[in-house]
């Protein structure tokens, strides 16, 4: 199975949501990391 962006985004969103529920202070870091990750994938810097 090829892991593509369509497979990764829901998993990352689910994990981020769970972490935000457990530790609300992590919200800023989780959102920033998610946006950086999606940006790098979108620019084809991280080949997924």
Instruction: Give the tens place of pLDDT for each residue, 18-34.
Output: 888 888 888 888 888 88
Residue 20 included in any domain = yes
Q: Is 3 inside a domain boundary?
A: no
Tokens of 37: 């990750």
Cα 20 from Cα 4, distance rounded (Å):
24
Q: Which domain holds residue 16?
A: 9-42
pTM of the model: 0.58
**Domain count of the fold of the chain:** 1
pLDDT on residue 2: 64
Residue 34 lies in a domain: yes
Of 17, 14, 10, 9, whose CA–CA distance to 48 is shortest? 9
Q: Is residue 29 part of a domain?
A: yes
């Amino acid at each position: 199975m090829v892991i593509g962006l369509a497979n990764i985004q829901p998993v990352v969103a689910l994990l981020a949501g769970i972490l935000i529920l457990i530790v609300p202070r992590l919200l800023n870091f989780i959102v920033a990391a998610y946006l950086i990750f999606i940006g790098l994938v979108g620019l084809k810097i991280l080949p997924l």
